[in-house]
């Protein structure tokens, strides 16, 4: 498996989270592309499973990417 294959697998998994809607304003995001075009990304994706480079969790959460909807509500994809 090369880097392009990994990107396809991850993008495919993330795409299963759509359609998605903002619970605050009920804005509907039909696809990952729609979500990326119509939200404001917040920082870098963050893994809550690793502390100081070391695996720390018994029950892993995974990696989250946060973005703000136009209404100001923060949304996440994992």
Q: What is the DSSP annotation of the chain?
A: --HHHHHHHHHHHHHTT-SEE-TTT--EE-SHHHHHHSSEEEEEEEESSEETTEE--SS---EEEEEE-TTS-EEEE-
Per residue in 44-77, pLDDT (tens digit) is 888 777 665 665 666 666 788 999 999 999 999 9
Report pLDDT for 31: 96
Domain borders along the chain are 3-77
Report pLDDT for 60: 67
In this prediction, what percent of the chain has a pLDDT beyond 90? 56
Q: Is the pTM value of this prediction over 0.85?
A: no
């Amino acid at each position: 498996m090369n880097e392009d294959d990994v990107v396809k697998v991850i993008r495919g998994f993330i795409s299963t989270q759509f359609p998605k809607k903002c619970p605050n304003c009920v804005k509907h995001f039909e696809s990952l592309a729609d979500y990326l075009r119509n939200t404001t990304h917040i920082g870098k994706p963050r893994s809550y499973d690793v502390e100081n480079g070391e695996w720390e969790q018994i029950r892993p959460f995974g990696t989250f990417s946060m973005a703000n909807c136009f209404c100001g509500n923060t949304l996440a994809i994992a």
